[in-house]
Amino acid sequence: MIRSIQAISLRVALVMCCVMLLGGAAEARSFPELADLVETAGKAVVNINTEKQAVQRQPEQRFRRNDPFNDFFREFERFFGDQTRRRPQRSLGSGFLIAADGLIVTNNHVIAEADVIKVTLHNEKTYNAKVIGRDEETDLALLKIEAKESLPFLSFANSDRARIGDWVVAIGNPFGLQHSVTAGIISAKGRSLGSGPYDNYIQTDASINPGNSGGPLLNLQGEVLGINTAILASGQGLGFAVPSNMAKSVIEQLQSGKAVRRGWLGVTIQDVDENTAKALGLDDTAGALVANVMPGEPADKAGLKAGDVILKINDDAVVGTADLLRRIAQVQPGKSATLTIWTDGKTRDVRVTVGERSKDKLAQMDEDGTTPDGSEATESALGLSLRRYSREEARQLGMREAKGLLVTAVEPDSPADGAGIQAGDVLLSVNQRPVNQPEDVAQIVEREGRARGAVMAQIVRKGRAFFRPIPVE
């Protein structure tokens, strides 16, 4: 009987071992097979070498006062001119073909200021490339080579459908090591690195190094999810790629030979924090708060005003200011968009014809009467000392006219102090209501602020308008 039990136990143990081994094998098989993908997609990845001629001045020849060679070198320089020498500076990067006729996508910083651009294909053939177009704000560039044969190329994936945790593959030329392959997962989406207004990077732990810039980040179908663009030098496993959906619209415009056009509303915006939401009666902190509206621009024509919160664009929720900037930029100038806004305590839809963003308009946005009666009042609930101000003071404060109230003092440790209000700021409105007398502020605080627990102050500082929520004690 004991032997029988032992035999049964042994058989059970063997079965369990087999199950564990089979389970381990199944788990091992769950890892993606990448060899076929790399063999196919890798043929469309290229190595980019650039060269520019840097002018280097020869060191100035200095001689002693009575040196016999002085006269010789003076005559030499007078005859031959100032002597300089040109030293080539070289750099390496990656790219990938997007059409059989030789169109190549890479990063703008890979080919910026280059005098010569050479592209080497997977078969070691090298071609001179010309720049079709470039876009500094998304760091993208489009090149063209002339090859006699039809070339392998890659297609773009829908980066919006990519999920955190999806497997990805990067192919490029790190440190000049051609066609190096690394694999990992998508670590995050929508990353901002502070490099520009349209930061929206895919973060990956697939190893990306200098020389990978401009190469593709691929999904398991061999489609381009992003263009590898940046790394954090202080960390490992932190690579960043421009999403394919953002790149596609830019590349299409560059391919047509046109400058990249971006949508424009003509507003300054800021994120909605907890106190802002409380002051405006919003349920959460999503959306973008309109801090200022430029006269005559699309938002002004559509009826938007300072203090409105843009919640959606074309029924897609707006997460924050960066999200709104990207979405508006992708709307072609002249096209219409529907904005869902929070205004005066309720939502409504506004139809706006999007304008075109330009450097002149950005510069204008960065710029930004009455006679004072000399009286000054303190709003104790907020901790502000306020008074009207003169036209001359308005000019000094960067205001076009003397409207609103000048903040003359802020009580230490008061709600206004905690909100970052400073002496010298101009208070334009409270809860979207213009304030022209200190009494106006007191009435709004008493009537609305105490019920909501906060008020929304519109401030101008050095010509720039923005909002600050101030808790009401």
Beta bridge partners of 386: 377, 407
Domain check: are 117 and 198 in the same one?
Answer: no
Do residues 378 and 462 both lie within one domain?
Answer: yes
More confident call, 268 vs 396: 268
Is the residue at 387 inside a domain? Answer: yes
pLDDT for residue 120 is more than 90: yes
pLDDT band (50, 70, 90) for residue 221: very high
Instruction: Specify whether the CB–CB gap between 472 and 445 falls below 8 A.
Output: yes
Assessment of whether the complete model's pTM goes beyond 0.85: no
**From 91, 94, 135, 139, active-site residue:** 139
Residues 397 and 465 in one domain: yes
Average pLDDT over residues 216-240: 89
Pairing status of strand 346-353 against strand 116-120: unpaired
Tell me the residue range of the domain where 304 lies.
Answer: 263-365
The pLDDT of residue 6 is 54
Q: How confident is the model at residue 368 (pLDDT cuts 50, 70, 90)?
A: very low
Instruction: Give the pLDDT of residue 16.
Output: 55
Does the pLDDT of residue 220 top 80, yes or no? Answer: yes
Enter the tokens of residue 462: 């050095």
Is 326 within the bounds of a domain?
A: yes
**Looking at the structure, do residues 166 and 236 belong to the same domain, yes or no?**
yes
* Lookup: tokens for 57: 């001045």
Is 429 a domain residue?
A: yes
Q: How confident is the model at residue 106 (pLDDT cuts 50, 70, 90)?
A: very high
Structure tokens at 292: 């200022």
- Looking at the domain assignment, is residue 289 inside a domain? yes
Q: Six-digit token pair at 357? A: 């963003």
CA dist 257 and 95 (Å) reads: 20
pLDDT interval class at 235 (50, 70, 90): low
Average pLDDT over residues 152-179: 93
Q: Which residues are annotated as a binding site for substrate?
A: 51, 109, 139, 211-213, 229-233
244 is catalytic: no
Show which of 255, 287, 308 is a domain's final residue.
255
Averaged pLDDT, 49-67: 59
* Residue 109 bears catalytic tag: yes
Domain holding 420: CATH number? 2.30.42.10
Of 106-120, 247-261, 377-391, give the lowest mean pLDDT range.
377-391
**Model confidence band, residue 65 (pLDDT cutoffs 50, 70, 90):** very low
Q: What is the pLDDT of residue 67?
A: 54
Higher pLDDT, 232 or 457: 457
> Does 292 map to a domain?
yes
Work out the average pLDDT over 416-421: 90
- Is 64 in contact with 6 (CB distance < 8 Å)? no
The residue from 350, 365, 380 where one domain ends is: 365
Which among 235, 255, 275 is the end of a domain?
255
Q: What is the pLDDT of residues 277-336, one digit of tens each?
A: 888 889 888 899 988 888 889 999 999 998 899 999 999 999 888 888 888 988 889 999
Per the prediction, the chain carries an average pLDDT of 82
Provide mean pLDDT across the span 372-380: 52
The single residue of 91, 94, 213, 385 carrying the catalytic annotation is: 213
Is residue 442 included in any domain, yes or no?
Answer: yes
Predicted pLDDT of residue 19: 46
Domain count, the chain: 4
The three-point CA angle 446-344-341 to 5° equals: 140
Confidence tier at 394 by pLDDT (50, 70, 90) = confident
> Is pLDDT of 448 > 90?
no
CATH of the domain at 94: 2.40.10.10
Can you tell me the distance from the alpha carbon of 415 to that of 90, in angstroms, rounded to the nearest whole number? Answer: 56
What is the pLDDT confidence band of residue 121, given thresholds at 50, 70 and 90?
Answer: very high
* Nearest residue to 270 via CA among 320, 308, 318: 320
What local confidence, expressed as pLDDT, does residue 23 receive? 53
- On the question of pLDDT at 382 being above 90, the answer is no
Residue 151: predicted pLDDT:
96
pLDDT band per the 50, 70, 90 thresholds, residue 3: very low
Residues contributing to the annotated binding site: 51, 109, 139, 211-213, 229-233
One-letter-per-residue 3-state SS of the chain? CHHHHHHHHHHHHHHHHHHHHHHHHHHHHCCCCCHHHHHHHHHHEEEEEEEEEEEEECCCCCCCCCCCCHHHHHHHHHHHCCCEEEEEEEEEEEEEECCCCCEEEEEHHHHCCCCEEEEECCCCCEEECEEEEEECCCCEEEEECCCCCCCCCCCECCHHHCCCCCEEEEEECHHHCCCEEEEEEEEEEEECCCCCCCCCEEEECCCCCCCCCCCEEECCCCCEEEEEEEECCCCCCCEEEEEHHHHHHHHHHHHCCCCCCCEECCEEEEECCHHHHHHHCCCCCCCEEEEEECCCCHHHHCCCCCCCEEEEECCEECCCHHHHHHHHHCCCCCCEEEEEEEECCEEEEEEEECEECCHHHHHHHHCCCCCCCCCEEEECCCCEEEECCCHHHHHHCCCCCCCCEEEEEECCCCHHHHCCCCCCCEEEEECCEECCCHHHHHHHHHHHHHHHCEEEEEEEECCEEEEEEEECC
pLDDT of residue 78: 55
> Among candidates 321, 319, 317, which has minimal Cα distance to 286?
319
Do residues 284 and 360 share a domain?
A: yes
Output 83 or 89, whichever has higher pLDDT: 89
- Residue 64, classified by CB atoms within 10 Å of its CB into exposed (0-12), middle (13-18) or buried (19+), is exposed
Which residues fall within 8 angstroms of residue 341, CB to CB, at 6 or more apart? Answer: 304, 308, 309, 310, 311, 347, 348, 349, 350
In angstroms, the CA 314 to CA 416 distance is 36
- What is the C-alpha to C-alpha distance for residues 396 and 392, in angstroms, rounded to an integer? 6
Q: Provide the pLDDT confidence category of residue 369 given band limits of 50, 70 and 90.
A: very low
pLDDT at 370: 33
Mean pLDDT score, 219-231:
94
At residue 365 the predicted structure's pLDDT band, cuts being 50, 70 and 90, is: low
Position 233 confidence tier, pLDDT thresholds 50, 70, 90: low
What pLDDT, on a 0 to 100 scale, did the predictor assign at position 379? 61
Do 356 and 405 lie in one domain? The reply is no
- Is residue 337 located within the same domain as residue 380? no
Q: Which two tokens stand for residue 349?
A: 């839809």
> Is 197 a member of any domain?
yes
Considering the domain architecture, whether residues 381 and 447 belong to the same structural domain is answered as yes
- pLDDT higher than threshold 70 for residue 5: no
Provide the pLDDT for residue 202: 95
pLDDT tens per residue, range 338-364: 999 999 889 999 999 999 887 666 655
Residue 91, pLDDT score: 72
Q: What are phi and psi of 391, to 5 degrees?
A: -65, -40
Separation CA 127–CA 104 (nearest Å): 12
Choose the catalytic residue: 109, 180, 308, 440: 109
Report yes or no on 332 lying in a domain. Answer: yes
Asked whether the beta carbons of 465 and 268 are under 8 A apart, the reply is yes
> Is-catalytic flag, 414?
no
272 shares its domain with 186: no
Can you say whether residue 453 is alpha, beta or left, with left for phi > 0 and alpha for psi between -120 and 50 degrees? left
